[in-house]
Structure 1
Amino acid sequence: MQTPSSVQTSPAPEPRRVSFSLKDFVIKFGLLVILAVMIVVFWRLEPAFGSARNMFSILQAVSVTALLALGVTVTLAIGGFDLSIGSTAAMSLMASSYVMVILDLGTLPAIAVCLFLGLAIGFANGMLIVKGRIPDLLATLGMMFLLLGLQLIPTGGRSIAKGMTLPSGGSAQGSFTETFLALGRYRVFDLIPLPVIVMIVAAILLWVFMERSRYGRVLYAIGGNEKATRLAGAPVERYKIAAYMISGGFASVGGMLLAARVGRGDVSSGSSLLLDSVAAALIGFAVLGAKKPNVFGTAIGALFVGTLLNGLTMLNAPYYAQDFVKGLVLVLALLFTFGFASSNHR
């Protein structure tokens, strides 16, 4: 018989130590550190950069890009990619201008047409990919070129402005209403642009949808392993179509806000939206070491791109250098995400 004193007890396991190297810090926080350093440097070189009005101007400029990038994030989550977002936004911009200036129908019809177009384009993309079995890049690339041409047909390739001469020979009788223009120009407390509030609300709602709802988890599951998600009983095809409709909806809102800000249907307004929004979404992969599409990272990525371009503009940097710098930043962000992380697991 063993006495209590003779019973051997195993030593308590030592608490597991969590190692956190400099490389781990760079992977997780590197992009945020670069953003903070960039703000400080621009502020020191140009004191006006740090003013409250300029900061909100950056957010206003970023708002459209961020909305498009949030839409891209949803398609990336399912393992897809929407290349038509820039042309969808441009189509929305031209459609709202056409409804108000040429058809003279007012604010609500313009908003309704924009939202309908965005959702319809997203639905068409989803059907081409799901039912037509066309790879997402090719389907959305084809849609991009289709929309770029389609938006120019009603006006013969000309921008839409009050009193413009129509292809028929007459002149446009309508104009942008003050209510519509306020969507892009109104400032709450004479400081915070309304598009910034729209962007923040949209980002919060999408974050809750993607990170806290069952539907968002299914979208991520499709991107991680579509076959396993299908075998688990999820209606994968419907979710994929819905993802592209969400992307189209966000793009249409972005195009509408851009039209309200510039006050005309400029055929060249959406030329850089695709590249900037894709850059923001991909930079988001590096935020906090997420290594996956995520709403918070995309918002930070859009802020990063907007801050960089605003700072370079205020320092009178040559316009042709901006794309180079954007590309360099994107490469560094992807290096943080994949290069350093891969070397950590060797």
Structure 2
Amino acid sequence: MKTASTARGRGAGNIVEFLYRYGTLITIFILVAVFGTMTDSFLSGSNIINILRSISIVTIIATGLTVSLSVGGFDLSVGSAASLANAIVISMFVWHGQNMFVGIAVALAFCIVIGLINAFLVTSFNIQDMLMTLATMFVFQGVALTYTKGATISENMIMPNGDFATGLIPDAFSKLGQVPWIIILMLLVVIAVHVFLNYTKHGRYMYMIGGNPEAAKLSGIAVKKYRLIAYLLSALFAGIGGVILGARVMNAEVNAGAPYLMDAVAAAFIGFSVFGAGKPNAFGTFVGAVLIGILSNGLVMLSVPYYAMDIVKGSVLALALAITYYKRKHA
């Protein structure tokens, strides 16, 4: 009896292990098959490009979130950082008449300040990263709203004094939000972070800190320094996402980056299980974003109401978390 019971237990364990490693990829193939069968244009080249374009911004933001997760952190302020970067970069053009490089540099500089603030608060006070960045999320969101005065920034907008804005968004800047550049930038970010985390000593140190910060500290690793780097990179990539969002839509809407937070969190946590990584990783995050992009695109093609999308995304995230933490518990 014990032998049969043990064999069944091993068999179930093997199934769970297989699903943990390849479940996300299998799900993607199933969704592609289902949507491809139910809609004529889903598998067309133009739609595949459209899916990649649609996930580019969320992938970049989620990749930054992945870096913060690698040190055991959790940066919930990435959506607000993207909103602020989006507002600043467009305002630099429309309000102040700056060129593309100045506009992008100023926006990313503000995001680096956001990373510094998050890192200081997280490393200086014994408060969970998630709770602290939840607080700063509202602060930075408020800063973005105050800066824009709750208005959409766009060319020829009416200024508070009644005049029209005279600044123009550079044509070269708009290219960043178009195919193929938006997809190329996404892939470059994913590759760069993948190489950094997996093939440099600094990335390995970050994983050690995320796995056991006390042991890492005893090993001589500068834990606070690497947590600082993680939050700087998280805010920087959120800022890049916000800048590219501005290039894509050519304006800065109120809290434009906020909707990307949920998708970024989902993509990052789905990525934990890709190929059994068991840890935050850039490639897995990209695969998670692809899954979410396919879901969203396919549901739109099937005319599912937009207000039901979050039900599906939330369910996918819940499943990803359940698999990840079940695996950790039984590791």
TM-score with structure 2 setting the length: 0.93
Alignment match, 1:125: 118
User: In structure 2, do the counterparts of structure 1 residues 212 and 96 end up closer, same or farther at CA, with 3 Å as the change threshold?
Assistant: same
Where in structure 1 are there 5+ consecutive unaligned residues? 1-17, 188-192
Q: Counterpart of 1:310 in 2: which secondary structure?
A: helix
Number of aligned positions between the proteins: 321
Q: Percent identity?
A: 39
The alignment status of 1:24 with 2:17, answered yes or no, reads yes
| 1:144 aligned partner, one-letter code | M
Residue in structure 1 matching 2:277, options 275, 278, 290: 290
The alignment status of 1:272 with 2:259, answered yes or no, reads yes
Q: Counterpart of 2:167 in 1: which secondary structure?
A: coil
Alignment match, 1:33: 26
User: In structure 2, do the counterparts of structure 1 residues 88 and 341 end up closer, same or farther at CA, with 3 Å as the change threshold?
Assistant: closer
Alignment match, 1:4: none
1:198-221 deviation digits (Å, cap 9, x = unpaired)? 111111111111001100010011
CA distance, structure 1, for counterparts of residue 148 and residue 316 of structure 2: 38
CA distance, structure 1, for counterparts of residue 156 and residue 283 of structure 2: 43
- Choose between structure 1 and 2: higher helix proportion: 2
Alignment match, 1:172: 165
| 2:311 aligned partner, one-letter code | F
Residue in structure 2 matching 1:99, options 92, 95, 119: 92
Alignment match, 1:237: 224
CA distance, structure 2, for counterparts of residue 337 and residue 226 of structure 1: 20
Alignment match, 1:194: 181
CA distance, structure 1, for counterparts of residue 304 and residue 149 of structure 2: 35
1:39-54 aligned at under 5 Å gives the runs 39-54=32-47
Let me know the Cα RMSD of the aligned residues: 1.7
Contact 1:164 1:172 in 2 (8 A): yes
Moved more, 91-100 or 226-235: 226-235
CA distance, structure 2, for counterparts of residue 152 and residue 22 of structure 1: 49
Tell me how far 1:295 sits from its aligned partner. 1.4
Q: Counterpart of 2:148 in 1: which secondary structure?
A: coil
CA distance, structure 2, for counterparts of residue 268 and residue 127 of structure 1: 24
The alignment status of 1:155 with 2:142, answered yes or no, reads no
Alignment match, 1:318: 305
Contact 2:144 2:255 in 1 (8 A): no
Alignment match, 1:8: none
Q: Counterpart of 1:57 in 2: which secondary structure?
A: helix
Contact 2:80 2:255 in 1 (8 A): no
Q: Counterpart of 1:206 in 2: which secondary structure?
A: helix
Q: Counterpart of 1:104 in 2: which secondary structure?
A: coil
Tell me how far 1:169 sits from its aligned partner. 2.7
The alignment status of 1:246 with 2:222, answered yes or no, reads no
Between structure 1 and structure 2, the one with the greater Rg is 1
Q: Counterpart of 1:47 in 2: which secondary structure?
A: coil
TM-score with structure 1 setting the length: 0.89
Tell me how far 1:340 sits from its aligned partner. 5.7
Moved more, 138-147 or 217-226: 138-147
Alignment match, 1:223: 210
